[in-house]
Amino acid sequence: MGRYMAVDRSNLLSGLELAKFVTKGDRVSLARAITLIESRKSEHRTAARGLLTALNASAGKAHRIGITGVPGVGKSTLIDRLGSYLTAKGHKVAVLAVDPSSSRSGGAILGDKTRMAQLAADPNAFIRPSPSSGTLGGVARTTRETILLCEAAGFDIILVETVGVGQSEITVAGMVDFFLVLMLAGGGDELQGIKKGIMELADMIAITKADGANEAQAQAAAADYRAALHILTPPSSAWKPPVITVSARDNHNIDALWSKIEAHRAALQASGEFTAKRRDQDVRWMHSMVEDQLRQAFLSGDAAMRKIAEAERAVRAGALPPSVAADEIVSAIFDAR
């Protein structure tokens, strides 16, 4: 990737200027472009639209992979090993680690670059923590746009790590080409804690920490998950989700994991599903952004804020049912316009 080029730092809002340097692989410009699209200020959103439009033709060529798993499953360690394996093969890897946000400050609290030490020092890798700022499931509003920016900057593999809680898995599965679910053996009933919905989304399940005394348990867990997947409908008719065991500590089966991911892409491209899936995701993304922008527009006016505060007091006092209060807020917003 290109190192740091001379950029006019005073012109943060020039989306077209940023676009030129992003496509040249300038890391500083890429980071500033991501900061720009994360902003909710109206003037920044205008510049961000120009930036995304200018970069649209350069995006879309990367392999997008979502990775999820409960805390403690070893997501960051596996991503560190997988990412380093891929850069050694000549790939350029971007990791978008979606952080939970502080309920008070809204700031990112995970230290992704310390959790992925090997990859953080790799010149062919880029790690970007992204605070969720309260978005449903912990997935940042701008994660999809960040994917496009990284693709335009020349990264050919995008890894999106979720926090592994709430609805984030479902949201990420709707923006990637391949969805990897990491599971941990040794918890008693191996199928006890997994959600059926997440298994139905999985393109592959990997049992982590399959090393040392835990290797036999990992193999037993893999057999259980293979049996469970037989009764579920897979995400694609062209692909049967496999179950493998991996050890990030011992660097075991990382190559097999990547081989399965490549085989999945080949299978979906042969069936025509790969491109169709991307287009469907784009349309759903458009509708999601429309809903988000309408919500922001409706709730940003002074009249709406006053009505919301008034309704909150009434609901808190028990004087008004929440559903009635919601109807009154919506009516007030539309009447004000």
Q: Are residues 200 and 258 both part of a single domain?
A: yes
Q: Is residue 143 part of a domain?
A: yes
Q: Are residues 181 and 305 both part of a single domain?
A: no
Q: Are residues 219 and 198 both part of a single domain?
A: yes
Mean pLDDT of the chain: 82
Q: Are residues 68 and 31 both part of a single domain?
A: no
**Residue-level pLDDT at 13:** 43
In this predicted model, which residue has the larger pLDDT, 108 or 209? 209
Nearest to 107 by CA among 143, 131, 128: 131
**Residue-level pLDDT at 105:** 43
The conformation of residue 41, written as its DSSP 8-state character, comes to: -
The token duo for 187 is: 């918890």
Strand boundaries in 63-209, DSSP class E: 63-68, 93-99, 125-131, 157-161, 178-184, 204-208
Q: Is residue 245 part of a domain?
A: yes
**pLDDT (mean) for 87-91:** 97
Report the range out of 1-10, 33-42, 265-274, 304-313 with the highest average pLDDT.
265-274
**Which has the minimum average pLDDT: 28-32, 67-71, 147-151?**
67-71
- Do 130 and 38 contact (CB within 8 A), yes or no? yes
- Give the strands of the sheet with 243-245, arranged side by side: 125-131, 93-99, 157-161, 63-68, 178-184, 204-208, 243-245
- The answer, yes or no, to whether residue 263 has pLDDT greater than 70, is yes
The separation between CA 235 and the C-alpha centre of its own chain, rounded to angstroms, equals 18
Q: Is residue 307 part of a domain?
A: yes
Nearest to 213 by CA among 181, 253, 189, 249: 249
Q: pLDDT tier at 130 (50, 70, 90 boundaries)? A: low
**Residue-level pLDDT at 6:** 41
Q: Are residues 85 and 211 both part of a single domain?
A: yes
Q: Is residue 278 part of a domain?
A: no
Dihedral pair phi/psi, residue 192, rounded to 5°: -60, -50
Q: Are residues 67 and 50 both part of a single domain?
A: no
**Residue-level pLDDT at 7:** 39
Q: Are residues 90 and 209 both part of a single domain?
A: yes
Q: Is residue 279 part of a domain?
A: no
In this predicted model, which residue has the larger pLDDT, 333 or 92? 92
- Do 250 and 213 contact (CB within 8 A), yes or no? no
- Burial of 265 (C-beta count, 10 Å sphere; 0-12/13-18/19+): middle
Q: Are residues 203 and 324 both part of a single domain?
A: no
Q: Are residues 191 and 76 both part of a single domain?
A: yes
The token duo for 235 is: 């995400």
Domain span at residue 154? 59-271
Q: How do residues 158-208 score in pLDDT, each as one tens digit?
A: 999 987 655 677 888 889 999 999 988 865 444 545 566 778 889 999 999
- When divided into structural domains, the chain yields a total of 3
Q: Is residue 80 part of a domain?
A: yes
Parallel, antiparallel, or unpaired for β 93-99 and 125-131? parallel
